[in-house]
Structure 1
């Protein structure tokens, strides 16, 4: 076989492998998205397990945050800054104000309700607006719906003009303890100072026990 023929042969084989891989990957994604989403409440009235993707394109589980307080809010990057942006900023600043030691024990988490538009890269860029404290997450539409329901966050989509749409963001910030227990909520309109005060109260109570 001549050099040109060998090169053409290997090119065709490579293209065939790539095509098969793409098809398998797509089919796998569709099957995963249609499959039941196994989530566990751990006995919590609000909150529980999740398997999502963080802003670094890595899979993340709720158990990855054991030992830290979680402040979880559901919004999206196309949401007005006066709504979702204000909550993300307050969470980041509220945790930072806990001080060097305690801020390491709390993580503000922003989970998108708009996974079709909010890519991991979009979320990374969005998070940088609020410093280094905010952790951002996305996932398949089916997983996002399941997790949002688990954390009592709305998932109502309002159709607009020319294919545009809006989504109702969460009205509350859910607080989970370092052991994964539900510890109550704060309104999404809470200020950074109110968040710092609430987390200080919870951490002080934990330290006494």
Structure 2
């Protein structure tokens, strides 16, 4: 089962809990985003589901939902991806202009098995808007470091294969690739839609 291991991310979770809450009556959210100024994100160079080289600059001007996982994950990753996709569909109905401004991105932490074709099929199975990205182990390590993601390959299973333990946070990045907030995919589609609606302008 995946767990959040980084002390930094524990503090970020507390930050989100204590800041940026919206007015229950539906008023304007606080001006400062929970992750504003955090050292998260940065340039990357990866490969999409069609085998094309993709960099962070390809998403300039759009908000990004950044999720890190792996396609062979038996439980948490598919659940989170489903929540993200369903949350975007809710936003489509409520504020389509905001939904259109967002690109959801799935980055594998298991490049050994998650080839371009594999991440492409996995991402598209949840929503065709989701961009699946993979890369060399060196490239993946670099993007994990930039986004404060922890992962470790588990022991081989008796029947073959292996699990990958990894941190679970989902980031909402602004059009300049600066962090805004954590997206609570573990709380379901409604929580995802509410968070995106709050911070996407």
TM-score (norm 1): 0.71
* DSSP-derived class of the 1:146 partner: helix
- Structure 1, unaligned runs of 5 or more: 1-42
Residue 184 of structure 1: aligned partner:
181
User: Please, which of 63, 67, 70 is the counterpart of residue 73 of structure 1?
Assistant: 67
User: Please, which of 96, 109, 117 is the counterpart of residue 89 of structure 2?
Assistant: 96
**Inter-CA distance 69–166: structure 2 relative to 1 (3 Å threshold):** same
* DSSP-derived class of the 1:67 partner: coil
Q: Given that residues 88 and 134 in structure 1 are in contact (C-alpha distance below 8 angstroms), is that contact kept between their aligned partners in structure 2?
A: no
Question: Aligned partners of 2:138, 2:78: CA distance in 1, in Å?
Answer: 24
Q: Who wins on radius of gyration, i.e. which is larger?
A: 1
Question: Aligned partners of 1:61, 1:190: CA distance in 2, in Å?
Answer: 30
Q: Quote the RMSD (CA, aligned, Å).
A: 1.7
Q: Given that residues 44 and 55 in structure 2 are in contact (C-alpha distance below 8 angstroms), is that contact kept between their aligned partners in structure 1?
A: yes
Question: Which structure would you say has the larger RCO, counting Cα contacts within 8 Å and 6 or more residues apart?
Answer: 2
User: Please, which of 38, 50, 58 is the counterpart of residue 56 of structure 1?
Assistant: 50
Where is the helix percentage greater, Structure 1 or Structure 2?
A: 1
Q: Given that residues 170 and 188 in structure 1 are in contact (C-alpha distance below 8 angstroms), is that contact kept between their aligned partners in structure 2?
A: no
Question: Aligned partners of 2:184, 2:91: CA distance in 1, in Å?
Answer: 19
* DSSP-derived class of the 2:111 partner: coil
| Range that drifts further, 181-190 or 168-177 | 181-190
- Aligned ranges for residues 1-209 of structure 1 at < 5 Å? 44-80=38-74, 82-99=75-92, 100-161=96-157, 164-203=161-200, 206=201
Question: Aligned partners of 1:44, 1:66: CA distance in 2, in Å?
Answer: 19
* DSSP-derived class of the 1:98 partner: helix
Using the TM superposition, give the Cα deviation of residue 90 of structure 1 relative to its aligned residue in structure 2, in angstroms: 1.2
